[in-house]
Chain A
Amino acid sequence: MLTDITIGQYIPGKSIVHRMDPRIKILITLIKITILFLIDTFWGFGLFLLLVVGILLAAKLPIKRVLRGLKPVFFLVILTLVLHLFLTRGGEVLWQWGFLRIEEAGVFTGFFMVARILLLIMFTSILTLTTSPLELTDGIEYLLKPLARFGLPAGELAMMMTIALRFIPTLLEEAEKIMKAQQARGADFESGNIIQRAKALIPLLVPLFISAFRRADELALAMESRCYRGGSNRTRLHELQLKKSDLILFFLAVIIAVFISFF
């Protein structure tokens, strides 16, 4: 259930997508996401989906797993669709019942928004599924470096992100454990209306927060006792190096992006 969330979960592999330079992967992801918000035709979305499937295949990722990662946003997707269907006005009236009315524009924007959300999550989960958290934050740190001149603490931000990503699976595991412990005491997380369910989460959230704070404390101690210091003088064990293939793939991605945006 909770472990369905794919963000922050890395599946090791040796595919071409795995071996790409993380900086390039992040840039490509940013470009694609931008494109995703520019597309507004069925053709565009179709091509984008094709692209996503293509990358999934190239990365040899289990498609089932990626699809399962969409489950947590199911509610958001349905809500978006319903709101657009009934509230966005424009075009022909397709259906009417009392004050409820569905118009053409609502159907289009509704489905487009849904497609956008789903594709967005799929694309970003490709990034996190094929890039180890360490590589990912290295990449982000490099990309943010130019902003250090304006006082942005790139290294610290990157470290915070590494830690956050690293602890997502741990906290999920912890959440599942606490949930089971409370279930063993007769707690019921699965039935009741929204308010009852939200209330039922308190016995889960309080221990979860406490354990997160405790972990943070312990981690800080462990890092300090190994003389961790932020700042600009840190050197790294593995320097990122751009390969020729990275550049080729980057330009390919840009061309594809431009191509898709024309539809």
Chain B
Amino acid sequence: MLIELKDIRHVYNLDDPVVALENINLEITQGEFIGLIGHTGSGKSTLVQLLNGLLQPTAGQVFFQGQDINADRASLQDIRKKIGLVFQYPEHQLFEETVAEDVAFGPKNVGLSREEREKRVKEALQLVGLDYEEFKDRSPFNLSGGQQRRVAIAGVLALKPEVLILDEPSAGLDPEGRQKLLDLLVYLHQELNLTIILISHRMEEVARLASRVVVMDQGKIALEGTPAEVFNRGEDLKKMDLDLPVLTQILTDLKARGLPVRTDIFSLEKARDEILAGLKKIEKSRESKTC
């Protein structure tokens, strides 16, 4: 077990308590791609901050590779190296004079040598699709929004984390930027074997990428399962103010109107084939009736 959350409860502001998380039990294995969804204020962001020790749970324990991460404050640095967290609008954390220095901030903090840092920066920038020679000496503040976001993500990747957590990484990006980002996530997951936890409001992203979906509602885990299992429960999701992926919605509606299609399809091409196949089936049955 890579990450294990045990009976987590988290309360903000002890004077005027707000329960953010209650009774959370979650296990994450190496190589999973978790999609974390939930309405605003459901506790997603709190949950991921517990995972690398930025917040300490009010009760319960967080284990990483079998070790209680809050048992020893000194080892937190090590945990943060292994669990990379990309916050919402990560470009707001850029501060250095050049792109290369900003990306090197993490590696510098964990005490890597100059050569190693430069190597990491090159690799990280390459991963996010920015040319090292072209961008290294530019000021991060003169880049476009999408480029800034990629530099910020490179800043986390430069630590070579084993787990990557991203909080709404595609928010505010144009369609092209979003697609590039999702491609990057797929690459990190499949080629570099990173465990990924993705918080997103875009159900399409989650449905397409995640191997497991965790749904949070009012500080609790409300649903959990494969995308097909979770998005099969449209009614429950609606009660939690969550949408279905557009494709699932279309397929479900078509099915309700009598078209024989499966609803657990999350890619456009396959959905098209499924609908065409469904239409053919209907035609066939009509032909056999008229004959």
Binding site for B on A (CB under 8 A): 62, 64-65, 177-178, 180-188, 202-203, 206-207, 210-211
| Complex-state Cα separation, A185 to B92, whole angstroms | 14
**Minimum CB–CB distance for A198 against chain B, Å:** 15
Whether A186 contacts B110 in the complex (CB less than 8 A), given A62-B15, A64-B15, A202-B95, comes out as: yes
Number of interface residues of B (CB under 8 A): 23
Chain A residues with CB under 8 A of B84:
184
Contacting residues of chain B (23-81) with chain A, CB-CB under 8 angstroms = 49, 52, 54, 77, 80-81
Whether A178 contacts B52 in the complex (CB less than 8 A), given A184-B156, A187-B105, comes out as: no
B179 proximal to A (CB < 8 A): no
B106 proximal to A (CB < 8 A): yes
**Which B residue's beta carbon lies closest to that of A11?**
B16
Chain B residues with CB under 8 A of A180:
49, 54, 87
B85 proximal to A (CB < 8 A): yes
| Complex-state Cα separation, A64 to B106, whole angstroms | 38
Is there an interface contact between A185 and B15, defined as CB atoms closer than 8 Å? no
| Complex-state Cα separation, A202 to B105, whole angstroms | 12
Is there an interface contact between A203 and B95, defined as CB atoms closer than 8 Å? yes
Chain B residues with CB under 8 A of A62:
15
Is there an interface contact between A207 and B87, defined as CB atoms closer than 8 Å? no
Is there an interface contact between A186 and B93, defined as CB atoms closer than 8 Å? no
Is there an interface contact between A186 and B77, defined as CB atoms closer than 8 Å? yes
Chain A residues with CB under 8 A of B110:
186
| Complex-state Cα separation, A241 to B252, whole angstroms | 62
Whether A207 contacts B93 in the complex (CB less than 8 A), given A184-B84, A184-B156, comes out as: yes
Chain A residues with CB under 8 A of B95:
202-203, 206-207
Whether A181 contacts B87 in the complex (CB less than 8 A), given A186-B110, A207-B93, comes out as: yes
| Complex-state Cα separation, A185 to B107, whole angstroms | 8
**Minimum CB–CB distance for A131 against chain B, Å:** 19
User: Residues 91-117 of chain B: 1 if any A CB is under 8 Å from the residue's CB, otherwise 0?
Assistant: 011110000000001100110000000
Chain A residues with CB under 8 A of B49:
180
**Which B residue's beta carbon lies closest to that of A203?**
B95
Whether A178 contacts B93 in the complex (CB less than 8 A), given A65-B15, A183-B54, A184-B85, comes out as: yes
B219 proximal to A (CB < 8 A): no
| Complex-state Cα separation, A131 to B274, whole angstroms | 63
Binding site for A on B (CB under 8 A): 15, 49, 52, 54, 77, 80-81, 84-85, 87, 90, 92-95, 105-106, 109-110, 141, 155-156, 159
SS class of chain B's interface: helix, strand, loop or mixed? helix
**Minimum CB–CB distance for B166 against chain A, Å:** 11
Is there an interface contact between B87 and A184, defined as CB atoms closer than 8 Å? yes
Whether A186 contacts B141 in the complex (CB less than 8 A), given A181-B87, A207-B94, A207-B95, comes out as: no
Is there an interface contact between A182 and B93, defined as CB atoms closer than 8 Å? yes
**Minimum CB–CB distance for B98 against chain A, Å:** 13
Is there an interface contact between B105 and A184, defined as CB atoms closer than 8 Å? no
Extra pairs beyond A182-B105, A184-B85, A184-B156 (4, CB < 8 Å)? A181-B87, A185-B93, A188-B109, A203-B105
Chain A residues with CB under 8 A of B15:
62, 64-65
**Which B residue's beta carbon lies closest to that of A181?**
B93
Chain A residues with CB under 8 A of B92:
177-178, 181, 207, 210-211
| Complex-state Cα separation, A178 to B84, whole angstroms | 15
Chain B residues with CB under 8 A of A186:
77, 80-81, 105-106, 109-110, 159
| Complex-state Cα separation, A65 to B16, whole angstroms | 10
Chain B residues with CB under 8 A of A182:
93, 105
Tell which of B49, B90, B95 has the most Cβ of chain A within 10 Å. Answer: B95
29 A–B pairs (Cβ distance < 8 Å), ordered by A:
A62-B15, A64-B15, A178-B93, A180-B49, A180-B54, A182-B93, A183-B54, A183-B80, A184-B52, A184-B80, A184-B85, A185-B93, A185-B105, A185-B106, A185-B159, A186-B77, A186-B81, A186-B159, A187-B105, A188-B109, A202-B95, A203-B93, A203-B95, A203-B105, A207-B92, A207-B93, A207-B95, A210-B92, A211-B92
| Complex-state Cα separation, A185 to B76, whole angstroms | 11
Is there an interface contact between B77 and A185, defined as CB atoms closer than 8 Å? no
**Which A residue's beta carbon lies closest to that of B85?**
A184
Chain B residues with CB under 8 A of A183:
54, 80
Chain A residues with CB under 8 A of B156:
184-185
**Minimum CB–CB distance for A211 against chain B, Å:** 6
Chain B residues with CB under 8 A of A188:
77, 109
